[in-house]
Structure 1
Amino acid sequence: MTTKTAQIPAPDTSLSLAAPKVALILAAEVLFARDGIEGASLREIAAQAGQRNHHAVQYHFGSRDSLVQAIFDYRMNQMESARGAMLAVAEAARSLADLRTITEIIFRPQIELIDEFGDHSYAGFLTAYLLRYQARRFGQFGERVAPNLARTLVLLRACLDFLPEHVAQRRLVTACFMFLNILVIHTRDNGEEGERFEDAVIDTLGQIVAALAAPLPAET
Protein backbone atom coordinates (compact mmCIF):
# COMPACT_ATOMS: atom_id res chain seq x y z
CA MET A 1 0.00 0.00 0.00
CA THR A 2 1.40 3.38 -0.99
CA THR A 3 0.76 6.25 1.39
CA LYS A 4 1.09 9.95 1.03
CA THR A 5 4.30 11.02 2.70
CA ALA A 6 4.61 13.86 5.17
CA GLN A 7 5.19 17.38 3.98
CA ILE A 8 8.94 17.77 3.93
CA PRO A 9 10.23 20.12 6.63
CA ALA A 10 12.80 22.71 5.66
CA PRO A 11 16.39 21.55 6.13
CA ASP A 12 17.89 22.01 9.56
CA THR A 13 19.88 25.22 9.27
CA SER A 14 21.35 25.11 12.77
CA LEU A 15 25.11 25.14 12.37
CA SER A 16 26.97 22.63 14.51
CA LEU A 17 30.20 23.59 12.75
CA ALA A 18 32.09 26.84 13.15
CA ALA A 19 30.94 29.58 10.74
CA PRO A 20 34.17 29.62 8.66
CA LYS A 21 33.92 25.86 8.08
CA VAL A 22 30.29 26.14 7.00
CA ALA A 23 31.18 28.99 4.65
CA LEU A 24 33.90 26.85 3.09
CA ILE A 25 31.54 23.88 2.76
CA LEU A 26 28.88 25.92 0.98
CA ALA A 27 31.37 27.69 -1.28
CA ALA A 28 33.05 24.40 -2.18
CA GLU A 29 29.72 22.79 -3.00
CA VAL A 30 28.98 25.49 -5.58
CA LEU A 31 32.45 25.40 -7.13
CA PHE A 32 32.70 21.60 -7.13
CA ALA A 33 29.33 21.46 -8.87
CA ARG A 34 30.50 23.98 -11.47
CA ASP A 35 34.12 22.91 -12.05
CA GLY A 36 34.27 19.34 -10.77
CA ILE A 37 35.79 18.07 -7.56
CA GLU A 38 39.30 18.00 -8.99
CA GLY A 39 38.84 21.12 -11.11
CA ALA A 40 37.92 23.64 -8.42
CA SER A 41 40.84 25.52 -6.88
CA LEU A 42 41.17 25.41 -3.09
CA ARG A 43 42.31 29.04 -3.19
CA GLU A 44 39.18 29.99 -5.12
CA ILE A 45 37.03 28.13 -2.59
CA ALA A 46 38.66 30.08 0.22
CA ALA A 47 38.11 33.37 -1.60
CA GLN A 48 34.49 32.48 -2.41
CA ALA A 49 33.95 31.76 1.30
CA GLY A 50 35.31 35.18 2.23
CA GLN A 51 38.49 33.82 3.78
CA ARG A 52 41.62 35.93 3.50
CA ASN A 53 43.82 32.94 4.21
CA HIS A 54 44.39 31.21 0.86
CA HIS A 55 45.09 27.98 2.74
CA ALA A 56 41.85 28.08 4.75
CA VAL A 57 40.67 24.73 3.34
CA GLN A 58 43.86 22.99 4.43
CA TYR A 59 43.69 24.73 7.83
CA HIS A 60 40.09 23.70 8.58
CA PHE A 61 39.81 20.36 6.75
CA GLY A 62 43.33 19.19 6.03
CA SER A 63 42.73 18.10 2.45
CA ARG A 64 40.42 18.25 -0.56
CA ASP A 65 39.12 14.75 0.22
CA SER A 66 38.20 15.75 3.76
CA LEU A 67 36.37 18.82 2.47
CA VAL A 68 34.44 16.67 -0.01
CA GLN A 69 33.37 14.33 2.77
CA ALA A 70 32.43 17.28 4.98
CA ILE A 71 30.06 18.61 2.31
CA PHE A 72 28.42 15.20 1.99
CA ASP A 73 28.06 14.80 5.77
CA TYR A 74 26.77 18.35 6.23
CA ARG A 75 23.99 17.92 3.69
CA MET A 76 23.08 14.42 4.90
CA ASN A 77 22.69 15.77 8.43
CA GLN A 78 20.50 18.61 7.15
CA MET A 79 18.05 16.08 5.70
CA GLU A 80 17.80 14.02 8.88
CA SER A 81 14.78 15.80 10.37
CA ALA A 82 12.84 15.55 7.10
CA ARG A 83 13.58 11.85 6.78
CA GLY A 84 12.68 11.28 10.41
CA ALA A 85 9.29 12.93 9.92
CA MET A 86 8.61 10.96 6.74
CA LEU A 87 9.63 7.69 8.40
CA ALA A 88 7.23 8.40 11.27
CA VAL A 89 4.34 8.96 8.84
CA ALA A 90 5.21 5.80 6.92
CA GLU A 91 5.47 3.77 10.12
CA ALA A 92 2.08 4.99 11.31
CA ALA A 93 0.61 4.02 7.94
CA ARG A 94 2.37 0.64 8.04
CA SER A 95 4.01 1.36 4.71
CA LEU A 96 7.66 0.87 5.61
CA ALA A 97 7.76 -2.09 3.23
CA ASP A 98 6.37 -0.08 0.30
CA LEU A 99 9.07 0.63 -2.29
CA ARG A 100 7.54 3.88 -3.55
CA THR A 101 7.27 5.23 0.01
CA ILE A 102 10.89 4.39 0.83
CA THR A 103 12.05 5.87 -2.48
CA GLU A 104 10.29 9.13 -1.64
CA ILE A 105 11.94 9.23 1.78
CA ILE A 106 15.37 8.81 0.23
CA PHE A 107 15.05 11.35 -2.55
CA ARG A 108 12.47 14.04 -1.79
CA PRO A 109 14.41 15.76 1.04
CA GLN A 110 17.13 16.63 -1.49
CA ILE A 111 14.75 19.05 -3.19
CA GLU A 112 14.97 21.45 -0.25
CA LEU A 113 18.76 21.83 -0.45
CA ILE A 114 19.03 25.19 -2.23
CA ASP A 115 22.23 27.23 -2.34
CA GLU A 116 22.52 30.99 -1.87
CA PHE A 117 21.91 31.54 -5.59
CA GLY A 118 18.65 29.60 -5.56
CA ASP A 119 20.18 26.62 -7.36
CA HIS A 120 20.47 22.92 -6.60
CA SER A 121 24.26 23.01 -6.62
CA TYR A 122 24.19 20.10 -4.20
CA ALA A 123 22.82 17.95 -7.02
CA GLY A 124 25.80 18.78 -9.21
CA PHE A 125 28.18 18.15 -6.32
CA LEU A 126 26.60 14.82 -5.41
CA THR A 127 26.71 13.68 -9.03
CA ALA A 128 30.47 14.31 -9.05
CA TYR A 129 30.78 12.69 -5.61
CA LEU A 130 29.06 9.49 -6.73
CA LEU A 131 31.25 9.25 -9.82
CA ARG A 132 34.32 9.62 -7.63
CA TYR A 133 33.31 7.53 -4.62
CA GLN A 134 32.29 4.05 -5.73
CA ALA A 135 31.57 1.10 -3.47
CA ARG A 136 30.00 -2.31 -4.01
CA ARG A 137 28.44 -2.64 -0.55
CA PHE A 138 24.81 -1.50 -0.53
CA GLY A 139 24.28 1.97 0.88
CA GLN A 140 27.99 2.70 1.28
CA PHE A 141 28.51 6.34 0.33
CA GLY A 142 31.00 7.53 2.89
CA GLU A 143 32.59 6.84 6.23
CA ARG A 144 29.49 7.84 8.21
CA VAL A 145 25.79 7.48 7.48
CA ALA A 146 23.24 9.63 9.29
CA PRO A 147 20.85 7.49 11.41
CA ASN A 148 17.57 8.17 9.57
CA LEU A 149 19.25 7.69 6.21
CA ALA A 150 20.82 4.46 7.47
CA ARG A 151 17.40 3.20 8.59
CA THR A 152 15.85 4.12 5.25
CA LEU A 153 18.58 2.30 3.36
CA VAL A 154 17.98 -0.81 5.47
CA LEU A 155 14.29 -0.63 4.56
CA LEU A 156 15.17 -0.17 0.90
CA ARG A 157 17.51 -3.17 0.98
CA ALA A 158 14.65 -5.24 2.41
CA CYS A 159 12.49 -4.20 -0.56
CA LEU A 160 15.29 -5.30 -2.89
CA ASP A 161 16.16 -8.53 -1.11
CA PHE A 162 15.84 -10.44 -4.40
CA LEU A 163 18.94 -8.67 -5.72
CA PRO A 164 22.59 -9.51 -5.01
CA GLU A 165 24.43 -6.89 -2.97
CA HIS A 166 26.42 -5.37 -5.82
CA VAL A 167 23.39 -5.24 -8.12
CA ALA A 168 21.28 -3.51 -5.46
CA GLN A 169 24.06 -0.95 -4.95
CA ARG A 170 24.44 -0.36 -8.68
CA ARG A 171 20.71 0.21 -9.06
CA LEU A 172 20.68 2.59 -6.10
CA VAL A 173 23.51 4.66 -7.58
CA THR A 174 21.74 4.70 -10.96
CA ALA A 175 18.58 5.86 -9.21
CA CYS A 176 20.54 8.67 -7.57
CA PHE A 177 21.79 9.86 -10.95
CA MET A 178 18.25 9.82 -12.32
CA PHE A 179 16.92 12.00 -9.51
CA LEU A 180 19.92 14.34 -9.40
CA ASN A 181 19.56 14.91 -13.13
CA ILE A 182 16.07 16.27 -12.59
CA LEU A 183 17.38 18.68 -9.94
CA VAL A 184 20.18 19.86 -12.24
CA ILE A 185 17.86 20.32 -15.23
CA HIS A 186 15.17 22.05 -13.19
CA THR A 187 17.62 23.91 -10.99
CA ARG A 188 15.17 26.81 -10.99
CA ASP A 189 11.51 25.95 -11.25
CA ASN A 190 10.54 28.57 -13.81
CA GLY A 191 8.12 26.42 -15.80
CA GLU A 192 9.46 27.72 -19.12
CA GLU A 193 9.65 24.27 -20.73
CA GLY A 194 5.97 23.48 -20.16
CA GLU A 195 6.54 20.87 -17.43
CA ARG A 196 6.02 21.63 -13.79
CA PHE A 197 8.90 20.69 -11.54
CA GLU A 198 6.67 18.55 -9.33
CA ASP A 199 5.37 16.67 -12.36
CA ALA A 200 8.95 15.90 -13.37
CA VAL A 201 9.73 14.72 -9.82
CA ILE A 202 6.70 12.43 -9.67
CA ASP A 203 7.49 10.94 -13.08
CA THR A 204 11.16 10.41 -12.19
CA LEU A 205 10.30 8.76 -8.88
CA GLY A 206 8.04 6.39 -10.80
CA GLN A 207 10.89 5.59 -13.18
CA ILE A 208 13.20 4.96 -10.22
CA VAL A 209 10.76 2.57 -8.55
CA ALA A 210 10.32 0.64 -11.81
CA ALA A 211 14.09 0.45 -12.33
CA LEU A 212 14.79 -0.66 -8.76
CA ALA A 213 12.10 -3.34 -8.84
CA ALA A 214 12.92 -4.71 -12.30
CA PRO A 215 13.44 -8.49 -12.22
CA LEU A 216 16.88 -9.84 -12.90
CA PRO A 217 17.38 -11.07 -16.47
CA ALA A 218 17.09 -14.79 -16.94
CA GLU A 219 20.42 -16.60 -17.11
CA THR A 220 21.34 -17.81 -20.59
Structure 2
Amino acid sequence: MTNGILDTAAPIAGDPIDGKTRLILAGEQIFAKNGIAGASMREIATKAGQGNHAAVQYHFGSRDGLVRAIFDYRMDQMETARGSMLVEAEKHGLLKDARTLLDVILLPQLDLQDADGNHSYASFLSQYLLQSQSPEFGDFSGSEPPHLTRALHLLRERVDYLPRYVAQRRLISVSLMFLNILARHHGTTRLELGETFGEALDDTMEQIVTVMCMPVRPRRPPTA
Protein backbone atom coordinates (compact mmCIF):
# COMPACT_ATOMS: atom_id res chain seq x y z
CA MET A 1 0.00 0.00 0.00
CA THR A 2 1.40 3.40 -1.04
CA ASN A 3 0.13 6.70 0.41
CA GLY A 4 -3.04 4.96 1.49
CA ILE A 5 -3.70 3.66 -2.02
CA LEU A 6 -3.62 -0.04 -2.86
CA ASP A 7 -0.94 -0.66 -5.42
CA THR A 8 -0.73 -3.18 -8.21
CA ALA A 9 2.50 -4.97 -7.39
CA ALA A 10 3.01 -8.56 -8.42
CA PRO A 11 1.45 -11.06 -5.99
CA ILE A 12 3.46 -11.73 -2.85
CA ALA A 13 3.03 -14.27 -0.10
CA GLY A 14 0.65 -13.18 2.62
CA ASP A 15 -0.71 -10.25 0.56
CA PRO A 16 -3.97 -9.20 2.28
CA ILE A 17 -5.56 -7.88 -0.93
CA ASP A 18 -8.33 -10.20 -2.07
CA GLY A 19 -8.26 -11.78 -5.51
CA LYS A 20 -11.08 -9.68 -6.92
CA THR A 21 -9.34 -6.43 -5.96
CA ARG A 22 -6.07 -7.66 -7.43
CA LEU A 23 -7.86 -8.28 -10.72
CA ILE A 24 -9.18 -4.71 -10.63
CA LEU A 25 -5.72 -3.27 -10.03
CA ALA A 26 -4.02 -5.51 -12.58
CA GLY A 27 -6.73 -4.73 -15.11
CA GLU A 28 -6.22 -1.01 -14.66
CA GLN A 29 -2.51 -1.27 -15.48
CA ILE A 30 -2.96 -3.54 -18.47
CA PHE A 31 -5.88 -1.58 -19.91
CA ALA A 32 -3.76 1.56 -19.56
CA LYS A 33 -0.87 -0.10 -21.40
CA ASN A 34 -2.65 -2.10 -24.10
CA GLY A 35 -6.01 -0.35 -24.45
CA ILE A 36 -9.38 -1.48 -23.15
CA ALA A 37 -10.22 -3.35 -26.35
CA GLY A 38 -6.74 -4.80 -26.85
CA ALA A 39 -5.95 -6.08 -23.35
CA SER A 40 -5.82 -9.83 -22.74
CA MET A 41 -8.05 -11.19 -19.96
CA ARG A 42 -5.56 -14.04 -19.55
CA GLU A 43 -2.71 -11.52 -19.01
CA ILE A 44 -4.78 -9.66 -16.43
CA ALA A 45 -5.50 -12.87 -14.54
CA THR A 46 -1.81 -13.84 -14.62
CA LYS A 47 -0.67 -10.43 -13.37
CA ALA A 48 -3.21 -10.66 -10.55
CA GLY A 49 -1.76 -14.04 -9.51
CA GLN A 50 -4.87 -15.97 -10.55
CA GLY A 51 -4.23 -19.52 -11.70
CA ASN A 52 -7.67 -19.62 -13.29
CA HIS A 53 -7.43 -17.70 -16.57
CA ALA A 54 -11.23 -17.32 -16.56
CA ALA A 55 -11.07 -15.36 -13.29
CA VAL A 56 -12.19 -12.10 -14.93
CA GLN A 57 -15.31 -13.75 -16.29
CA TYR A 58 -15.96 -15.43 -12.95
CA HIS A 59 -15.79 -12.23 -10.88
CA PHE A 60 -17.01 -9.59 -13.36
CA GLY A 61 -18.87 -11.45 -16.08
CA SER A 62 -17.08 -9.76 -18.96
CA ARG A 63 -14.44 -7.25 -20.05
CA ASP A 64 -17.02 -4.47 -19.69
CA GLY A 65 -17.83 -5.65 -16.18
CA LEU A 66 -14.17 -5.37 -15.18
CA VAL A 67 -13.92 -1.91 -16.77
CA ARG A 68 -16.89 -0.66 -14.73
CA ALA A 69 -15.47 -2.28 -11.59
CA ILE A 70 -12.17 -0.39 -12.02
CA PHE A 71 -14.06 2.88 -12.48
CA ASP A 72 -16.25 2.27 -9.41
CA TYR A 73 -13.30 1.13 -7.29
CA ARG A 74 -11.28 4.28 -7.93
CA MET A 75 -14.32 6.56 -7.54
CA ASP A 76 -14.97 5.03 -4.12
CA GLN A 77 -11.32 5.48 -3.14
CA MET A 78 -11.53 9.22 -3.77
CA GLU A 79 -14.68 9.75 -1.71
CA THR A 80 -12.92 10.55 1.57
CA ALA A 81 -10.77 13.25 -0.02
CA ARG A 82 -13.71 14.74 -1.86
CA GLY A 83 -15.79 14.78 1.31
CA SER A 84 -13.08 16.68 3.20
CA MET A 85 -12.68 19.15 0.34
CA LEU A 86 -16.42 19.81 0.26
CA VAL A 87 -16.46 20.46 4.00
CA GLU A 88 -13.66 23.01 3.61
CA ALA A 89 -15.36 24.61 0.62
CA GLU A 90 -18.61 24.98 2.54
CA LYS A 91 -16.79 26.41 5.54
CA HIS A 92 -15.29 29.15 3.35
CA GLY A 93 -18.42 29.82 1.31
CA LEU A 94 -16.97 28.41 -1.91
CA LEU A 95 -19.60 25.90 -2.96
CA LYS A 96 -20.53 28.10 -5.92
CA ASP A 97 -16.94 28.71 -6.99
CA ALA A 98 -16.17 26.84 -10.22
CA ARG A 99 -12.44 26.38 -9.54
CA THR A 100 -13.16 24.96 -6.10
CA LEU A 101 -15.74 22.49 -7.43
CA LEU A 102 -13.48 21.38 -10.27
CA ASP A 103 -10.66 20.91 -7.77
CA VAL A 104 -12.95 18.62 -5.75
CA ILE A 105 -13.85 16.59 -8.82
CA LEU A 106 -10.40 16.31 -10.37
CA LEU A 107 -7.56 16.76 -7.88
CA PRO A 108 -8.09 13.59 -5.78
CA GLN A 109 -6.89 11.66 -8.83
CA LEU A 110 -3.38 12.93 -8.11
CA ASP A 111 -3.04 10.30 -5.36
CA LEU A 112 -3.97 7.31 -7.53
CA GLN A 113 -0.59 5.82 -8.37
CA ASP A 114 0.10 2.21 -9.22
CA ALA A 115 2.87 0.02 -7.82
CA ASP A 116 5.38 1.54 -10.24
CA GLY A 117 4.53 5.11 -9.23
CA ASN A 118 2.72 5.74 -12.51
CA HIS A 119 -0.74 7.14 -13.10
CA SER A 120 -2.06 4.17 -15.03
CA TYR A 121 -5.54 5.17 -13.84
CA ALA A 122 -5.24 8.41 -15.84
CA SER A 123 -4.63 6.47 -19.06
CA PHE A 124 -7.40 4.01 -18.22
CA LEU A 125 -9.93 6.73 -17.38
CA SER A 126 -9.11 8.66 -20.56
CA GLN A 127 -10.12 5.60 -22.56
CA TYR A 128 -13.19 5.05 -20.40
CA LEU A 129 -14.42 8.62 -20.88
CA LEU A 130 -13.89 8.49 -24.64
CA GLN A 131 -16.37 5.61 -24.74
CA SER A 132 -19.05 7.58 -22.88
CA GLN A 133 -22.18 8.23 -24.93
CA SER A 134 -24.62 9.65 -22.37
CA PRO A 135 -25.74 13.30 -22.81
CA GLU A 136 -26.68 13.51 -19.12
CA PHE A 137 -24.31 15.55 -16.97
CA GLY A 138 -22.05 13.37 -14.83
CA ASP A 139 -23.43 10.09 -16.19
CA PHE A 140 -20.52 7.75 -16.88
CA SER A 141 -22.36 4.43 -16.46
CA GLY A 142 -20.77 3.72 -13.09
CA SER A 143 -21.65 4.05 -9.43
CA GLU A 144 -22.64 7.42 -7.95
CA PRO A 145 -20.58 8.01 -4.77
CA PRO A 146 -22.34 10.69 -2.69
CA HIS A 147 -19.53 13.25 -2.43
CA LEU A 148 -18.72 13.10 -6.13
CA THR A 149 -22.43 13.25 -6.93
CA ARG A 150 -22.82 16.34 -4.76
CA ALA A 151 -19.84 18.08 -6.35
CA LEU A 152 -21.20 17.34 -9.83
CA HIS A 153 -24.63 18.62 -8.81
CA LEU A 154 -23.12 21.86 -7.51
CA LEU A 155 -21.08 22.27 -10.68
CA ARG A 156 -24.18 21.71 -12.81
CA GLU A 157 -25.94 24.45 -10.85
CA ARG A 158 -22.95 26.72 -11.44
CA VAL A 159 -23.23 26.22 -15.22
CA ASP A 160 -27.01 25.97 -15.41
CA TYR A 161 -27.00 28.28 -18.45
CA LEU A 162 -25.47 25.48 -20.53
CA PRO A 163 -27.64 22.88 -22.25
CA ARG A 164 -27.24 19.49 -20.56
CA TYR A 165 -25.45 17.89 -23.49
CA VAL A 166 -23.04 20.84 -23.74
CA ALA A 167 -22.31 20.64 -20.01
CA GLN A 168 -21.64 16.90 -20.28
CA ARG A 169 -19.43 17.29 -23.34
CA ARG A 170 -17.41 19.97 -21.58
CA LEU A 171 -17.11 17.87 -18.42
CA ILE A 172 -15.58 15.07 -20.47
CA SER A 173 -13.31 17.53 -22.29
CA VAL A 174 -11.94 19.11 -19.13
CA SER A 175 -11.49 15.70 -17.51
CA LEU A 176 -9.38 14.63 -20.46
CA MET A 177 -7.34 17.84 -20.19
CA PHE A 178 -6.63 17.05 -16.55
CA LEU A 179 -5.81 13.41 -17.21
CA ASN A 180 -3.44 14.38 -20.02
CA ILE A 181 -1.42 16.68 -17.78
CA LEU A 182 -1.39 13.99 -15.09
CA ALA A 183 -0.27 11.16 -17.34
CA ARG A 184 2.31 13.16 -19.29
CA HIS A 185 3.80 15.60 -16.79
CA HIS A 186 3.61 14.20 -13.26
CA GLY A 187 7.06 13.20 -12.02
CA THR A 188 8.91 15.20 -14.66
CA THR A 189 11.33 17.99 -13.81
CA ARG A 190 11.54 21.65 -14.76
CA LEU A 191 14.71 20.84 -16.70
CA GLU A 192 12.79 18.40 -18.89
CA LEU A 193 9.75 20.57 -19.64
CA GLY A 194 10.64 24.13 -18.64
CA GLU A 195 8.09 24.21 -15.82
CA THR A 196 7.27 22.26 -12.68
CA PHE A 197 4.33 19.90 -12.52
CA GLY A 198 2.64 22.27 -10.06
CA GLU A 199 2.96 25.17 -12.49
CA ALA A 200 1.62 23.09 -15.37
CA LEU A 201 -1.23 21.80 -13.21
CA ASP A 202 -2.29 25.26 -12.01
CA ASP A 203 -2.26 26.62 -15.56
CA THR A 204 -4.28 23.63 -16.76
CA MET A 205 -6.85 24.05 -13.99
CA GLU A 206 -7.34 27.71 -15.00
CA GLN A 207 -7.89 26.59 -18.59
CA ILE A 208 -10.35 23.97 -17.34
CA VAL A 209 -12.40 26.58 -15.46
CA THR A 210 -12.58 28.75 -18.58
CA VAL A 211 -13.60 25.85 -20.83
CA MET A 212 -16.22 24.60 -18.37
CA CYS A 213 -17.83 27.95 -17.67
CA MET A 214 -17.68 29.95 -20.89
CA PRO A 215 -21.09 30.74 -22.42
CA VAL A 216 -22.12 29.07 -25.63
CA ARG A 217 -21.50 31.43 -28.52
CA PRO A 218 -24.31 31.83 -31.08
CA ARG A 219 -23.63 29.85 -34.22
CA ARG A 220 -22.28 31.90 -37.05
CA PRO A 221 -24.55 32.15 -40.07
CA PRO A 222 -23.23 30.28 -43.11
CA THR A 223 -21.24 32.40 -45.51
CA ALA A 224 -22.48 32.89 -49.04
Normalised by the size of structure 1, how large is the TM-score? 0.90
Equivalent residue, structure 2, for 1:7: none
Distance (Å, rounded) in 1 between the aligned partners of 2:5 and 2:48 = 21
* Distance apart, 1:144 and its partner CA: 1.7
Equivalent residue, structure 1, for 2:37: 38
Equivalent residue, structure 1, for 2:213: 213
One-letter code of the match for 1:115?
Answer: D
Could you list the runs of 5+ residues in structure 2 that have no partner in the other structure?
7-15
Equivalent residue, structure 2, for 1:81: 80
Distance (Å, rounded) in 1 between the aligned partners of 2:127 and 2:207 = 22
1:185 partnered with 2:184:
yes
Equivalent residue, structure 2, for 1:59: 58
Could you give the per-residue CA deviations for residues 16-41 of structure 1, whole angstroms, max 9, x where no partner exists? x9610111111110110111101000
Indicate if the aligned counterparts of 1:12 and 1:81 stay in contact, CA closer than 8 A: no
Indicate if the aligned counterparts of 2:189 and 2:195 stay in contact, CA closer than 8 A: no
Could you list the runs of 5+ residues in structure 1 that have no partner in the other structure?
1-9
Could you give the per-residue CA deviations for residues 113-148 of structure 1, whole angstroms, max 9, x where no partner exists? 000010000000000101122210001012421110
Indicate if the aligned counterparts of 1:157 and 1:168 stay in contact, CA closer than 8 A: yes
What is the DSSP-based 3-state SS (H/G/I as helix, E as strand, rest coil) of the residue aligned with 1:23? helix
Distance (Å, rounded) in 1 between the aligned partners of 2:163 and 2:73 = 30
Equivalent residue, structure 2, for 1:116: 115
One-letter code of the match for 2:203?
Answer: D
Equivalent residue, structure 1, for 2:154: 155
Once the two structures are overlaid, the 10-residue window that deviates more, 44-53 or 80-89, is 44-53
Equivalent residue, structure 2, for 1:169: 168
Highest Rg: 1 or 2?
A: 2
Indicate if the aligned counterparts of 2:78 and 2:109 stay in contact, CA closer than 8 A: yes
Distance (Å, rounded) in 2 between the aligned partners of 1:83 and 1:115 = 20
One-letter code of the match for 1:63?
Answer: S
- Kindly report the root-mean-square deviation, in angstroms, between the aligned alpha carbons of the 2 structures: 1.5
**Count of residues in correspondence between the two structures:** 208
Equivalent residue, structure 1, for 2:10: none
Equivalent residue, structure 2, for 1:136: 135
Equivalent residue, structure 1, for 2:204: 204
Structure 1: which 4+ aligned runs deviate by more than 6 Å? none
Indicate if the aligned counterparts of 1:11 and 1:78 stay in contact, CA closer than 8 A: no
One-letter code of the match for 1:104?
Answer: D
Normalised by the size of structure 2, how large is the TM-score? 0.89
Which of 1 and 2 has higher RCO (CA within 8 Å, sep 6+)? 1
* Distance apart, 1:69 and its partner CA: 0.4
One-letter code of the match for 2:96?
Answer: A
One-letter code of the match for 1:19?
Answer: D
Indicate if the aligned counterparts of 2:72 and 2:142 stay in contact, CA closer than 8 A: no
